[in-house]
Copies of this chain bind each other. A is one copy, B any other.
Amino acid sequence: MQTLVYVFIIINLALALFEDPAVVPLPIWATSTIEIICLSAFTVRMVHYAKVIPRDKFWKDPKNICIIVIVTLSFIDLTIYGALKATGYFAIRWSRVLRPLLLVNVTEGRQLRRAFRSIRNALPQISYVFLLFMFSVLVFSLMALKLFGKRGLLTIDGSPYFTDYLDIVFDLYVLVTTANSPDVMMPAYNYSVFFTIFFILYIVINTYTFMSFFLAVVYNNYKKYLKEEVRQLVKARRFKMCRAFSLLRETCGEGGEPVVTQAKWNHLVKLVKPNISIAHQELLWSVLDDQNKGHIGKFAFVQLADLLSIQVITVKSQPHPIQICFPSMYNSSVSRFIRNVVHHRMFVYVYDLIILVNAVFIGLDEENPVVSNAEWDFVLYAGGYTSRQILDIVFILRVLRLIRLVDSIKRFRAIINTLIKIGPTILTFSQLIVVVYYIFAMVGMELFKGKVQFFEPNSTSPDQEYCGNPLLKGTTFAKLNYCKNNFNNVVSSFIVLLELTVVNQCGFTAVTHVSARIFFVLFHIVVVIIIINIFVAFILEAFLVEYTVDKSDLQTSLEKKIEELELNVQQYVPFGPPIKLFSIASFLIKGLLLFYFPGSRTVDGLLQRMFETDLRTEDFNEEEEPENISFSNPAFDSV
């Protein structure tokens, strides 16, 4: 069901590919029908929720209100648009801007909502810096007007240089993005070398200092908010565990101290994790009940959740299949020799060397028959070279093998670990980016569609030279063959927005009115100043946590217990790349148990441990319910 909701959302978003201006044009009735189906699906879901959830809770949830409003507005827009188009009037599908908000407001979009909340919380502080930054830009523009306005300088296009105040403000704003450096400086520099002082001052103050301020504000808020989220999470979990304890407790005979017996605890663990092995379960119990009393107190009981979150892998001490089928062959001297060779450190090095040599051959020109033949030795695919596309994929896969080489070098592990941890979060960020890009693409398409045209290279149209727009005649935009950077369909809109994100190639402001500049500045504020800075802040934090939090800080009482019981016998594990990552505990002779320690923890997990000291004071307060545990819509995975 969860997948189905996302399928409908994606279909709804993908409609932009087929609606005018379309990549693949479809008639209006077809796209409208698909949209109605999607909207109906969302309506059905809302009705279902309204039946399941208490009425007052349902209407208090802003998510539900949002979805109802979006669906209603979409239906209204669709009706108006259909009616206007049928009677031949001009119409705009304005409700398309709302579509990505569905992605944010479905119950499953928790991570995405958290990202938006984090942005909303940072907004007031960002706005103070932004006001001061804009003040600085305005003052510098005023100075520029006074310094350069009267000198009759000309830009490279032959237009007057720095004579209009608003133009100067825009040019200097763009200089902050470094997109028009050094073009904006050249006329002044050509006139006198001393004018560069103005630009140096501007760059130091606005491009470097203020952009760093933005990063600092975003970083600061991101961290603060993350800490608060982790605090709430841990608090809620502890509260629930305390409640569970008060339900399960029995009063011990002698002292009156409430405890939970092993039998009850075992029953609970079986209910929570049905697939847990008995060995694993006994291991966990022995960690909690280290004095072998047969029962545990409240403090040990509450740690159950943390204990279960440590990944434990059971390695069955099974013999190799060849050993079972052909014992004599497996134990022969040849076999033993091969096994020794494979387990030897040199084997790893030789293997890495082969990968490296392979990479060199890939780099060399394959037109050369000798190289081409040599390459065959490395390609293990039987199908052979059938088409260009398959070949490309195979080559890329082969090149990626090189990553294995890097991973075997210890020094790089922290960096690679950070890269791996960033992975899941990049998904959230890409959703965030898609939501923002989609909205800007919809607006951009309405404003700028058809202004710039792309012609195939073999086209003979005379318009080709200036992208089909006489205004672009002789501009750098046309000369550099940027014609495909236009807002003529969703895909090219997304790519223009990507280019605007990386370096603000705002040539398209030449072809249209002042709205393009506002569009550009707004996009820069939202995407570069806010979202990209959040991304950078996240990477900074993840990297610093990975680098600075060493193991001794992390070893909570739980891990210490495991070590005290000598279950974490890392030192006895023989050298070998696949085993290095784990520490093995041979426990109760029932098999091998691996305690899977840091290195695979998520950033959130690490942060929880970092902030845990702050949480100690408010420890086991079962009466007081955490503030913001509100009734949320049931997620499908929790049913």
Contacts and interface: CB of A to CB of B under 8 A. Distances in A.
A480 interface: yes
B132 A412 contact: yes
Contacts of A492: 193
A272 B215 CA distance: 43
Contact of A480 (B156, B193, B217, B484): B156
A406 interface: yes
A386 interface: no
Interface in A202-220: 203-204, 207-209, 212-213, 215-217, 219-220
B422 A209 contact: yes
A535 B204 CA distance: 10
A526 interface: no
Interface string A160-186: 000001000000000000110111011
Given A142-B362, A143-B395, A182-B485, A212 B503 contact: no
A156 B481 contact: yes
A209 B502 contact: no
A415 B498 contact: no
A400 B362 CA distance: 60
Nearest to A399: B142
A135 interface: yes
Interface in A249-282: none
Contacts of A547: 216-217, 220
Contacts of A363: 142, 145, 165
Nearest to A454: B190
A402 interface: yes
Interface in A543-572: 543-544, 547-548
A378 interface: no
Majority DSSP secondary structure for residues of A touching B? helix
A190 B146 contact: no
B502 A129 contact: no
Given A208-B536, A209-B419, A190 B499 contact: no
B495 A415 contact: no
A415 to B, nearest CB: 5
A400 B499 CA distance: 36
A143 B503 contact: no
Interface in A483-515: 484-485, 491-492, 495, 498-499, 502-503, 505
A479 interface: yes
A219 B142 CA distance: 35
A532 interface: yes
A361 to B, nearest CB: 11
A418 interface: yes
Interface residues of A, number: 84
Given A135-B402, A363-B142, A415-B129, A216 B482 contact: no
Contact of A182 (B129, B476, B505): B505
B502 A207 contact: yes
A629 to B, nearest CB: 28
Nearest to A219: B540
Q: In the complex, which of the residues A156, A208, A426, A457 has the most CB atoms of chain B within 10 Å of its own CB atom?
A: A208
Given A143-B396, A146-B395, A539 B212 contact: yes
Contacts of A479: 156, 476, 479
A128 interface: yes
Given A207-B502, A209-B539, A213-B415, A544 B193 contact: no
Interface string A450-485: 000010010000000000000000001001111011
A413 to B, nearest CB: 10
A189 interface: yes
A623 to B, nearest CB: 29
A315 interface: no
Contacts of A55: none
Contacts of A129: 415
A156 B477 CA distance: 12
A495 B190 CA distance: 12
Contacts of A189: 484, 495
B139 A190 contact: no
A128 B481 contact: no
B132 A535 contact: no
Complex A-B, nearest 10 residue pairs according to Cβ-Cβ distance, in ascending order: A216-B543, A212-B539, A178-B503, A146-B395, A182-B499, A181-B503, A181-B502, A216-B540, A212-B536, A142-B399
Interface of A: 128-129, 131-132, 135, 139, 142-143, 145-147, 150, 156, 165, 178-179, 181-183, 185-186, 189-190, 193, 196, 200, 203-204, 207-209, 212-213, 215-217, 219-220, 359, 362-363, 388, 392, 395-396, 399-400, 402-403, 406, 411-412, 415-416, 418-419, 422, 426, 454, 457, 476, 479-482, 484-485, 491-492, 495, 498-499, 502-503, 505, 532, 535-536, 539-540, 543-544, 547-548
Given A182-B502, A219-B544, A220-B548, 17 more contacts: A132-B415, A139-B399, A142-B399, A143-B396, A143-B399, A146-B392, A178-B178, A178-B502, A182-B503, A186-B484, A193-B491, A207-B502, A212-B535, A213-B543, A215-B536, A216-B539, A220-B544
